[in-house]
Structure 1
Amino acid sequence: MPPSPASPRSRFGIEFVLLARRWRRALDQRLAMVGLTDATWAPLVHLSESGDGVSQKDLAALVGIDGSSLVRLLDLLVGQGLVERRMDENDRRARLIFLTKAGRAAVARIRRELSRGEAEMLVDLSDEDIAALLDAFARIDRRLRLERPQP
């Protein structure tokens, strides 16, 4: 029998998506104060976490966007002096992405602002609440990875 319209299970997806949008908007507004948008800070953070020398293809997958969208973002970030592209010595057709000194400084500012913003948004939750949510997210993510719809 399908869940009733008012049941938590039936509301979960919509509530989760709405919360994710509000969360992202709040972080975006906070990072706008340091001159960055989600589109520009996300690649910097992923690059920092992955280590220098990430391929454009891998970085696009980490950020969750297609390669052509990443190219435009990288053009912007290169223009701002935050990243640089270098030829991959193992595959001359490929480019590897590296943070510059200014890019590393930007990531430090980003992390400070993200930490402050997340602390404010999570103030009403205990560490146990957060751990339980992260565990639930991981289980949902595993299920989604297993059950990819076929075209």
Structure 2
Amino acid sequence: MDFISYPLLAAIIGNLSAQFAKALVQGITKRSIAPDVIFASGGMPSSHSASVAALAMAVGLQDGFDSSLFAIALTLTGVVAYDAMGVRLAAGKHAAALNILVQEFKELAELAKENRPDKGMIMIRHFHERIGHSVSEVLAGLAFGAAVAYGVFKVYF
């Protein structure tokens, strides 16, 4: 496969397969499958973590685990994993709190509309709460991505 590099292929397959694994996990745990989960952020396993772990593992297998490229890929993996567990998880918690405030504001606006029917309803959008990951979701994504990269390596070489 000369048209695409092995590390890039591993990262793409790691990401896509992790996204589909989310649907499978949801189907097993919630006994229902929602197709939109394939394109959603958050959930088990972390596809962001799977992508960068697959990339790092592929670079290590191809160029050596002592190479500069592997050091860069591993650093990127750490940054993405930290971001998924920290910043994005916190943003999801903030979204949950904002959604509570939005719901209360909508109820107050509805009361105001009943008292003043000449005023229209204010439209407020709902914030997405599942944008970050728990530690277990990130760890599962890292392991998943590394396993995918190793599997692609066995097929590719």
TM-score, normalised by the number of residues in structure 1: 0.27
* Structure 2 length-normalised TM: 0.26
Bigger strand share = 1
Relative to total residues, which structure has the larger helix share, 1 or 2?
2
Which structure carries more relative contact order (alpha carbon 8 Å, separation 6+)? 2
